[in-house]
Amino acid sequence: MPRGDKEVVVSDSEPGKVEPQQGGEKMPSPAPSKKIFMEDPSEYRPELKDMLIGKDQEEFRGFYNEDNERYDIVAETYSQMHSKQTVEFVKHMHEKWTKLTHFKMTIMEAVEKLDELVDESDPDIALPNSIHAFQTAERIREAHPDKDWFHLVGLIHDLGKVIALHGEPQWATVGDTFPVGCQFSNKCVFPEYFDNNPDRSHPVYRTQYGMYEPNCGLEKVQMSFGHDEYMYHVLVGNGTSLPVEGLYMIRYHSFYPWHTGNDYDYLCNEKDRSMLEWIREFNKFDLYSKADSIPDVESVKPYYQSLIDKYIPGVLSW
């Protein structure tokens, strides 16, 4: 390996090729990987050095900047998402994915799978999500050295995006989340795209509370389906020992209309409100770590493997 370069793993497997378990057949493990080398974002795409590293906080989440080279793909992702994420669609996705019968994989293998994924909803960065995982984790580790579970949450928070590598469109995988079955909020990005959502004309779903009771709690609310909700079910379904604060971060870190827009409090209970500051603390690292340089992944992997072994070990069902 050239001196100073970082080793990044890229899988050879083809998206969408893993089939659900049938009968007693063994679910497949991920395909063998090949390796490429990467030093920093400017090595991966030279223009990112000026665009991303050292970026000021107020420059993040610039969804409406039409001069951004990512504007068109981001806007199209949200157009599809806000038009198609309905109550019925979310029920279908829960039925399809939360039974965890699709494939087997360890946490670290899932991190490496995200080498293949660039998030089409993100206006800030066009790097593989695996790099962002280590950036987030390392920044949390620096700020909260005594909370090892928090470090692990930083690493795994986006792993639910692996479903985009198994046949799901990115509008059903990435991006900001929102409740379905009640009134859509103007605090969502691109709220105008909800005009094409059939639930907007539903006599119940178009009202403020919709199919919910006031202050019912977010655990009773159906969120738009994506990587947050899926990864929460993967963790719980595989018996993680992560604390409830970590599980809330995983499940609601993309719920920007709530934790940043200050909307939907009318659906929250006291447990949700007590978790809100934890989610906001996590969000600082999730969002702004994108401006950090890339950590030496190979040197920190053993530390994160020890956390995986502690909190969510072994081969998991996905």
10-residue averages of pLDDT along the chain (318 residues): 33 33 38 30 35 46 56 89 98 98 98 85 68 93 97 97 95 96 96 97 98 98 98 98 98 97 98 97 78 80 98 98
DSSP letter for 179, please.
B
Q: Is 253 annotated as a binding residue?
A: yes
DSSP letter for 189, please.
S
Sequence-ordered alpha helix ranges (H) in the chain: 41-44, 48-51, 71-84, 87-97, 107-113, 129-143, 148-156, 227-237, 244-252, 256-259, 270-288, 297-311
Give the HSE-up count for residue 57: Cα atoms under 13 Å, Cβ half-sphere.
6
Tell me the C-alpha distance between 226 and 186, whole Å. Answer: 20
Q: Is 227 annotated as a binding residue?
A: yes
Q: What is the pLDDT of residue 64?
A: 54
Q: Is 176 annotated as a binding residue?
A: yes
Tell me the C-alpha distance between 218 and 247, whole Å. Answer: 13
In three-state secondary structure terms, 9 is: strand
Q: Is 115 annotated as a binding residue?
A: no
Tell me the C-alpha distance between 133 and 308, whole Å. Answer: 14
Q: Is 286 annotated as a binding residue?
A: yes
Q: Is 92 annotated as a binding residue?
A: no
Q: Is 228 annotated as a binding residue?
A: no
CB 134 within 8 A of CB 155: yes
- Counting every residue written for the chain, the total comes to 318
Q: What is the pLDDT of residue 85?
A: 98
Tell me the C-alpha distance between 153 and 140, whole Å. Answer: 9
The alpha carbon of residue 155 and the mean position of all alpha carbons in its chain are separated, in whole angstroms, by: 11
In three-state secondary structure terms, 10 is: strand
Q: What is the pLDDT of residue 1?
A: 33
Tell me the C-alpha distance between 188 and 124, whole Å. Answer: 17
Q: Is 161 annotated as a binding residue?
A: yes
Angle formed by the axes of helices 270-288 and 244-252, nearest 10°? 70
Cβ-based neighbour number of residue 73 at 10 Å: 17
Q: Is 202 annotated as a binding residue?
A: no
Tell me the C-alpha distance between 123 and 144, whole Å. Answer: 28
Q: Is 61 annotated as a binding residue?
A: yes
CB 153 within 8 A of CB 249: yes
User: Residue for token digits 């900001």?
Assistant: 176
Angle formed by the axes of helices 129-143 and 297-311, nearest 10°? 80
Cβ-based neighbour number of residue 62 at 10 Å: 16
| Partners of 37 in the β-ladder | 7
Burial 172-186 (b: 16+ CB within 10 A, else e): bbbbbbbbbbbbbbe
